[in-house]
Chains A and B, each alone.
Chain A
Amino acid sequence: MTDDDRRDAVTPQQRQEPDSGNAPAVPAAGPAPAGEPEPPEGQPVPDRFEDPGLPEHRPRSTDRDPRAARRAEFQVAALFSLSVTGTLLALAAYYTVQVEDDLGVAELLGRLRLSTLLLGIGLFLALFCVGAGVVHWARRLMPGEEWTEHRHVLRGSDTDRAEARRILADGAAESGLGRRPLIRNTLVGALALAPLPAIALLRDTGPLPEDSLSRTFWRAGLHLVRDPEGGRIRPDDLVVGSVVHVMPEGVDEAEHPLEERAKAAVLVIRLDPEDLDQESLGGAHEGIVAYSKICTHMGCPVGLYEQQTRHLLCPCHQSTFDVSRHCQVIFGPAKRPLPQLPLTVDPEGYLVAADGFREAVGPSFWERG
């Protein structure tokens, strides 16, 4: 495809053809509406205005006035020089603003901020001024006249098409693909099966889930310890209205501590037993209840406990659970209540799990049931 470009050479050779909406195929407003089946016109096509053609080029001040051009030249050069200044500033900032280890935090961060700011401003000037200069140059000093280029429809000519069709048919015939179905069918079969090993190879990217989603580190008799400071908890430590973020003791020594923490996080809350319904009291110890902190919606830690309303709020999607009613969902996108961890105390008086979770914690999944 070749383009023939003429600056200002194209005058409106043909006016735009009316493009009728009720045509199945609307003729292009192009030069050759011939060949297009003229659609049946339901209504008379209104007379249309004529394209007046490209407006005359208006010379810019830089075209008319050599002094303006000279001024623009200086401006471009000034922008480029400013860019050089920016580069120098960035380099100077790089070498002079040092961030040493032995500074206090505030001073260290202050230095870092200064370094980032100066480097950034230097680099900004260096880059932006090159860009602004080049654009200014293009706008003010490079030719300001618009060009016109012809467009050609993308489809080939009818001859091209016929030829292409013939070539493809010939090639197909030469290969014998149509005549030899045995080859064709076995090839299709072979190609269809060939990717299977690739899929099989992906099998070892991870283990089968098995019951991993339903299992947690918690089991009967495991001590509750504070997260993150550690330390077992006695019921007396908790006053009404207090919460403790809790992990099972020994979780950090587990084979996969992060994975276990991701399922075992628990929030322990002490309420007035009067405020707890029958279901919640089942796993409670003297008004102390423990609920999984992993949201049943999308797994965020549900830690926002409002002690007055006894509501738990998830900060990610605002699911709200009512602790006094066995963590039923009272608002938001979660469906299931947070699972409760039944509590009791060991002979020494520390809080322990009476049992593991009786259902899978965290977000729903297909096999959950």
Chain B
Amino acid sequence: MSVTDEPAATGAGGEEIGVPDGTDRGTGGPSTAGPAGSGGTRTARAAGAVGTFADERFGASRIVRGFARKVFPDHWSFMLGEIALYSFVVLLITGVFLTLFYVPSVAPTTYEGSYAPLNGQQVSEAYASTLRLSFDVRGGLLVRQIHHWSALVFAAAILVHMFRVFFTGAFRKPRELNWVVGVVLALLAIFEGFAGYSLPDDLLSGTGLRIASSILLSIPFVGSYLSSFLFGGEFPGEAFIPRLYTIHVLILPAVFVLLISAHLFMVVLHKHTQYPGPGRRDDNVVGYPFYPVYLAKAGGFFFIVAGITTLMAAVFTINPIWAYGAYDPSPVTAGSQPDWYMGFLDGAARLAPGWWEFTAFGHTVSLNVLLPAVVLPGVLSIVAILYPWLESFVTRSRREHHVLDRPRNAPTRTGLGVMAITFYLLLLVSGGNDIIATQLHLSINAITVALRVLVIALPPIAFLVTKRICLGLQRRDRDLVLHGRETGRIVRTEQGEVYEVHEPIDERERWRLVQHQAHRPYEPPSPDETGSGNGHSVTVRDRLRSRLNRFYFRDRVDPVTPAELAAAQASGHGTGPGHGTGEGRSTEAPSTEAAGTTTER
């Protein structure tokens, strides 16, 4: 879109694929790669034949050349998204198994299965079939539990992955759209999970659906119509479970596959971001080749994820629908909660005070439902989706970013992120306020009142504290660069002075601590050299932008410059004994330097 000039990286556009030992025989089958020459001629011929076949049908050789050796940086935090991806695959596989036995119908039936405490009860087909697949299909309970645990892990991994992307600034240009896709995937995961746990038609899922219908009802003008159309009449109706089933097993998974494909395609297109470090720049990517190392690691990790969710399913009961019983609108259980990923909405609904509801002109507006359950998630999603552009609007950065920020080096962003997480966590906690009350022997009313206050008061405090911590960590980085590492060796000079020997850090380690930019707040250029082309007038937008920019960059700690390091070394820090005279002892250093290089407030 934007036609600003971008520095083009000088990739030579080389044609070669970097096969290390230069062997490039054969027609492009995977057999040719790999330094270890695999021997057997028959195998090689067979592989060659397959390769030729594939190449002549869809040009496999070019695909292999283009993609097989793509480099992926290695870091554990880059695998959080993979946890989500693999949980999704596990969900697909186990979900298919469940569809073989599940009956998406609320037609009444009498339960006559193995579980005696339900025998003879009138239940829905959906509930009976879920019980059947749990009790009478061997391994069915295991698969159901794998499915449910994977769903919880899926949502958790998405959230943690999102945090990683946020705090490292990986959403910045050119990855804004991929961030959007990610946010949409996160939202869909919540819906998909909700649809999933509503399907067994047990007491808890019915209670959840009832709440969902109430949320629909709270929407002004169209609420009762929406509810009536979605449920096919009044709650609970007979239509909703079959409809939800189609959404759960067909529509949303298809959308997931589509969006995940787009997500991964963009990762390949943009190449993965990398953490700052020696030799890692915005114009390169350092890591392991996809084939074979990363393929093995990623492929192996799939099995690890599948294995661990299986182990959870083997050891922990999840969603004991036999204990909840079939759905009936009259009973309810203490501790009626949604799965954790819906918990923040439930928590918000618990905190909203009743007086938010009012009647005007003969119509009821339930803001006590609408705000926490509809507006809040809507606003959160919109803010999340727009954040990359909001930030670039504020920071005025329009270049591509491929080297990640260390969270401490972006204190404002990190503070905002922690603020959002604090808000989210408090809502989540409030979603479990009754369980907390019973487990910790507290008053549920006291917890709720406290959370009402905290949910407003704590996030800004979290912002400030986090920002302080980030700046403190940056100062510690400075310290480390200037004075080296504490060795723990205490030396006493002949003059009787005692100091600790500091050992300088090596230049590669140092680079990690000094590579970043500490941006200064933007100062508008003088009118004759404006780049924006808007001439002289300073608009409200510009003023807002400047103010936000100041807010964003005001507090900062500059990274050490070579001159500062030289000065520090000249004044005799760290390196060896004999220099420990007077001035600028490392213990005092932070304050002196902070005064020199830090601008706060």
Contacts and interface: CB of A to CB of B under 8 A. Distances in A.
Interface of A: 2-7, 9-10, 12, 16, 18-37, 39-40, 42-43, 46-49, 51-55, 94, 99, 101, 104-105, 108-109, 112, 115-117, 119-121, 123-135, 137-139, 142-143, 146-155, 157, 161, 202-203, 205-209, 212-213, 227-228, 245, 247, 256, 258-259, 261-263, 265, 293-294, 297-301, 303-304, 315-320, 329, 331-336, 362-369
B315 A120 contact: yes
8 contacts: A25-B531, A26-B396, A99-B135, A116-B145, A120-B145, A135-B297, A151-B283, A333-B369
Contacts of A207: 228, 233
B517 interface: yes
Interface string B523-536: 10110010110000
Interface residues on B, range: 35 or more
A24 B286 contact: no
Contacts of B511: 49, 51-52
A366 B507 contact: no
Interface in B407-459: 433-434, 444-445, 448
Given A4-B13, A22-B522, A369-B362, A150 B355 contact: no
A179 to B, nearest CB: 26
Contacts of A94: 138-139
B91 to A, nearest CB: 15
B228 A206 contact: yes
A307 to B, nearest CB: 17
Given A115-B142, A333-B350, 4 more contacts: A32-B8, A40-B525, A301-B332, A316-B211
Contacts of B307: 123-129, 131
A316 B507 contact: no
Contact of B282 (A2, A30, A54): A30
Given A130-B303, A155-B6, A365-B224, A149 B211 contact: no
B200 to A, nearest CB: 16
B364 A120 contact: no
Given A48-B514, A134-B296, A336-B357, A212 B228 contact: yes
Contacts of B359: 369
Interface in B281-335: 281-289, 292-294, 296-297, 299-308, 310-311, 313-315, 328-335
A250 to B, nearest CB: 15
Contacts of A124: 307-308, 310-311, 314
Contacts of A142: 292-293, 296
Contact of B329 (A16, A135, A258, A366): A258
A72 B252 CA distance: 43
Interface string B7-23: 11111111111101000
Contacts of A208: 225, 228
A43 B400 CA distance: 24
Interface stretch (B111-119, B381-389, B573-581): B111-119
B289 A5 contact: yes
A150 B349 CA distance: 50
